[in-house]
């Protein structure tokens, strides 16, 4: 039984991971989260206060980070600015949080000799051609496209350097696109579901041929816990669930599951530098860590996600209009 410091634990995947820890281990958790527009105290509602504490603060605050790391047995680092479209409008918060925040954390774990796990994305590898049979592996060179993915790539490199040069007990994981409950309505799947629920049309960038490799957030959390328990220090683990689908197909599936005509959506301005395709080869992680995704039926995962947004209007309605206003400004 130990004490985990989970950064970004009031966000989408971080809060999913905190719930996973409380349900499946005896660890207690301190969440360090700045509660930006993407963080929400309500994401941790109902959790046992004796095992889960929220500290509202910034991962770039070296003094605060140092004191929290000193009291922890391990750090799991989810906190980030996470949305590509925002990074194209204003890259600075991405440089600040993703680079300086990660630097602040690796300095603190170096100082205290604390186990560190860094959560990252497959976007660090850039993109693949649509007709290329290849997938990303641990050996794929970094080639990020956006301010978001380049700052995540930089944060990965900081962690790797701190492991090699200073002996930090760190691991990394790069995961594919997550979906599920509690995802902010700025992201593709919840944006389209909540558009339908609020009586407006879904918005597809370009022709919708871009491919993403979907994994349920519950599966991501279980894999991160396995890396924490059994990962080899210094290693990078790729996490994916063989969930490739193009955006047009995903959107049509959402419309069909919600009882709407499959062509009832708008084509909007494409994302600048829009990555074509992501695909993770997660075989090595599965074999070495004995982890297997449980949500292998994407359509049933989508159906559950639609049900969650239908039943939790109070969670997303307060931020929906402001999110759509930002998109309207960008013609999206
Ligand atoms: P999110 O935007 O939903 O949550 C991010 C959380 O970090 C929020 O609670 C926010 O308040 C907090 N935060 C932001 N800046 C902070 C700061 N300076 N100090 C403290 N807290 C801060 O993001 P998410 O989708 O849950 O992603 C979590 C992590 O997983 C990120 O590192 C992201 O790169 C990675 N990831 C995400 C996906 C995906 O599909 N969403 C896929 C692979 C990897
Ligand atoms: O309204 C939309 N219409 C649309 O067609 C939005 C918001 C997105 N899209 C497209 C762009 C992408 O091809 O859908 C795809 C998915 O978009 P996002 O949900 O913004 O995800 P993506 O850019 O692929 O990045 C996500 O996965 C990797 C997460 O946001 C990152 O944090 C993670 O690292």
Q: Rounded to an integer, what distance in angstroms lies between the CA atom of residue 9 and that of residue 20?
A: 12
**Looking at ligand 2, which atom is closest to the CA of residue 202?**
1
160 within a domain of the structure (yes/no) = yes
114 within a domain of the structure (yes/no) = yes
Instruction: Mention every residue, 6+ apart, whose C-beta is less than 8 A from residue 41.
Output: 10, 35, 54
Probe ligand 1: pick from 20, 63, 80, max atoms within 8 Å of CB?
80
**Do 302 and 322 lie in a common domain?**
yes
CB 233 within 8 A of CB 295: no
pLDDT digits (tens, 9 = 90+) for 138-169: 999 999 999 999 999 999 999 999 999 999 99
The yes-or-no verdict on residue 123 having pLDDT over 90 is: yes
pLDDT digits (tens, 9 = 90+) for 317-331: 999 999 999 999 999
82 within a domain of the structure (yes/no) = yes
Closest protein CA for atom 30 of ligand 2:
83
Spot the catalytic one: 103, 148, 278, 309: 148
123 is catalytic: yes
Closest protein CA for atom 19 of ligand 1:
58
Q: Which domain holds residue 42?
A: 3-178+214-239
Spot the catalytic one: 33, 123, 213, 244: 123
290 within a domain of the structure (yes/no) = no
| ipTM of this complex | 0.99
Tell me the mean pLDDT in the region 161-183.
98
Q: What percent of the chain has pLDDT over 70?
A: 100
| Range list of β-strands (E), the chain | 3-7, 28-33, 52-56, 74-77, 115-121, 170-175, 177-179, 203-205, 211-216, 236-239, 244-246, 266-268
Specify the pTM.
0.98
In the chain, the N- to C-terminal Cα span, in Å, equals 47
Q: How many structural domains is the chain composed of?
A: 2
Helix, strand, coil tally for the chain in percent (to 5): 45, 20, 35
């Amino acid at each position: 039984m130990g004490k985990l410091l989970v950064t970004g634990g009031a966000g989408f995947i971080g809060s999913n991971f905190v719930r996973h820890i409380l349900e499946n281990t005896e660890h207690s958790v301190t969440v360090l989260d700045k509660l930006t527009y993407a963080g929400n105290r309500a994401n941790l509602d109902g959790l046992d206060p004796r095992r889960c504490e929220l500290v509202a603060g910034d991962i770039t605050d070296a003094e605060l980070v140092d004191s929290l790391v000193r009291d922890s047995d391990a750090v799991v680092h989810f906190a980030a600015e996470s949305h590509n479209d925002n990074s194209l409008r204003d890259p600075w918060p991405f440089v600040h949080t993703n680079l300086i925040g990660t630097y602040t954390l690796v300095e603190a774990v170096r100082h205290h000799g604390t186990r560190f796990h860094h959560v990252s994305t497959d976007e660090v590898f850039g993109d693949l051609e649509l007709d290329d049979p290849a997938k990303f592996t641990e050996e794929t060179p970094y080639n990020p496209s956006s301010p978001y993915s380049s700052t995540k790539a930089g944060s990965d490199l900081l962690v790797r350097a701190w492991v090699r040069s200073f002996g930090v007990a760190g691991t990394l994981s790069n995961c594919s696109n997550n979906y599920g409950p509690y995802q902010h309505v700025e992201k593709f799947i919840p944006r389209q579901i909540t558009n339908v629920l609020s009586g407006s049309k879904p918005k597809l960038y370009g022709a919708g041929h871009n491919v993403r490799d979907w994994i349920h957030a519950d599966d991501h959390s279980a894999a991160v816990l396995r890396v924490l328990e059994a990962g080899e220090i210094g290693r990078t683990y790729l996490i994916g669930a063989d969930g490739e689908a193009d955006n047009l197909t995903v959107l049509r599936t959402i419309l069909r599951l919600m009882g709407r005509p499959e062509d009832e959506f708008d084509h909007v301005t494409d994302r600048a530098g829009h990555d074509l395709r992501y695909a993770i080869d997660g075989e090595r992680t599965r074999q070495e860590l004995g982890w297997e995704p449980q949500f292998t039926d994407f359509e049933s995962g989508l159906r559950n996600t639609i049900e969650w947004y239908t039943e939790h209007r109070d969670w997303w309605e307060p931020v929906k209009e402001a999110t759509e206003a930002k998109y309207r400004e960008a013609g999206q």
